[in-house]
Amino acid sequence: MKINIVGGGPAGLYFAILWKKHHPDSSVTVFERNAAGTTFGWGVVFSDKTLSYLRDADPYTYIEVIANFETWDNVDIVHRDETISVHGNKFSGIARIRLLRILQHRCRELGVELRFNEPVTDIDSLVECDLLIGADGVNSTVRDRFSDRFSPNLALRSNKYIWFGTRRLFHGLTLTFRDNADGVFAAHSYKFDKRTSTFIVECDSETWMNAGFEAMSETGTQSYLESVFAADLCGESLISNNSKWINFLDVKNRQWSYENVVLLGDALHTAHFSIGSGTKLALEDAIALNDALLKSTTVSAALRMFEDVRKPIIEEYQSAAEESLQWFENCRGHIQLEPIELALSLMTRSKRIDFENLKRRDPAFIALYESWRKRAPIA
């Protein structure tokens, strides 16, 4: 079997590993436009459930990944200089570049051909194979080439966000809210190794315009945000990695495959970073596609099975992500809440966690909230 994969991110690399592991005689080639050591962004996050899938799919990769993890079970909400901690939310973080290097090493070990610095502009030249996988990200060339077949729905959302790193270590997922004369800012931060944390800043378009970011240099933007979050960075600076303001692109596709072509990961679907599921969903896509191919007698049957099994799961995640995204788009209204009120609203924003679920996860947090309710003035 000959498989061509466009995109050397987690989805494409992990599928290549799984298929080549079971079919060493197959020809699997990954085409990646960037160099092997190039990546944008900082850390990625996994839940325990996703880790169990990785353990079952390829124990070697699993062992390498968990050896590089930073793990936590707390979400810290910082508002008006008060920190509210909510426990019972176990996640693990790893540097994106480290994850990619682990996957690249495993690919080479299994005989996958990795072709870096090779942007694919002529998709038609790769179609002559048994399976062509578009794992080339949110701005997928493969999806664009067959857009009349995939029927993508691409919605650019209103909030702006920018992705930094910092040497300030955040022990757990920390969501920090700060406001000034220009508007309201939210930071999503978590450590992913012993020295570095991800630090994503998000704001609405009004705040972005008021602050003058449109005309501001990269250095000026970094300095401005360092001043907004000075109390939270504790003297550390922000670190840029081609950091630019962007709008989140919500990606959906009516059809997931066409003939022998299928999409994976962000090329197929996106979920807002506030629920931390992008890389998780990409890897689970790869597992599901590999399973469907192993269970089917033809590629076309496998692609139908992949969509039938996976699409309801993705739709559920995207529904939760939409609720979370809308919460942050309306952050200007939430900032009026008291810290404990905002924490409860934030934790239940996606509708996947409710009051009773939170009570089981962290009874101390709910006790704190109920104690505040008894003291709070009646509105």
Decide: 92 and 66 in contact? Cβ < 8 Å. yes
Tell me the DSSP string of 174-238: EEEEEEETTEEEEEEEEE-SSS-EEEEEEE-HHHHHHHTGGG--HHHHHHHHHHHTHHHHTTPPE
Q: How many CB atoms lie within 10 A of CB 27?
A: 15
Q: What string of H, E and C letters represents the secondary structure of 245-260?
A: CEEEEEEEECCCEECC
The CA distance from 277 to 336, in Å, is 28
For the packed helices 48-57 and 59-66, what is the interaxial angle rounded to 10 degrees?
140
Give the pLDDT mean for 65-78.
93
Could you report the per-residue pLDDT of 95-127, keeping only the tens digit for each?
A: 999 999 999 999 999 999 999 999 998 999 999
pLDDT of 276 reads 74
pLDDT of 377 reads 72
pLDDT of 378 reads 64
The CA distance from 102 to 191, in Å, is 19
pLDDT of 323 reads 95
Token look-up 């739709």 returns 315
Q: Is the dihedral of CA 347, 353, 358, 359 positive or negative?
A: positive
pLDDT of 275 reads 87
Q: How many CB atoms lie within 10 A of CB 315?
A: 12
The CA distance from 298 to 133, in Å, is 16
pLDDT-based confidence at residue 90 (cuts at 50, 70, 90): confident
Cross-strand partners of 173:
75
Read off the DSSP letter of residue 377. Answer: P
Decide: 323 and 272 in contact? Cβ < 8 Å. no
Reply yes or no on whether the pLDDT at 325 is more than 90: yes
Could you report the per-residue pLDDT of 336-358, keeping only the tens digit for each?
A: 999 999 999 999 998 888 999 99
What is the 3-state composition of the chain as percent helix, strand, coil, each rounded to the nearest 5?
45, 25, 30
Q: What string of H, E and C letters represents the secondary structure of 329-374?
A: HCHHHHCCCCHHHHHHHHHCCCCCCCHHHHHHHCHHHHHHHHHHHH
pLDDT of 351 reads 85
Instruction: Measure the N-to-C terminal CA separation of the chain; round to a whole number of Å.
Output: 67
Spatial strand order in the sheet of 257-258 = 113-115, 27-31, 2-6, 131-134, 261-263, 257-258
**DSSP-based three-state secondary structure for 265:** helix
Q: Is the dihedral of CA 203, 11, 350, 190 positive or negative?
A: negative
pLDDT of 379 reads 55
Structural domains in the chain plus CATH codes: 2-68+93-156+248-328 (3.50.50.60), 157-246 (3.30.9.20), 331-375 (no CATH)
Could you report the per-residue pLDDT of 31-58, keeping only the tens digit for each?
A: 999 988 777 678 998 888 888 999 999 9
Could you report the per-residue pLDDT of 170-218, keeping only the tens digit for each?
A: 998 999 999 999 999 999 999 999 999 999 999 999 999 999 999 999 9
Can you give the pTM of this predicted structure?
0.95
Distances in whole angstroms, Cα of residue 183 to Cα of each of 107, 229, 332: 47, 13, 8
Cβ contacts of 86-90, under 8 Å, gap ≥ 24: 86/343, 86/347, 86/358, 86/361, 86/362, 86/365, 87/361, 87/362, 87/364, 87/365, 88/360, 88/361, 88/362, 89/173, 89/361, 90/47, 90/48
Share of the chain above pLDDT 70, in %: 99
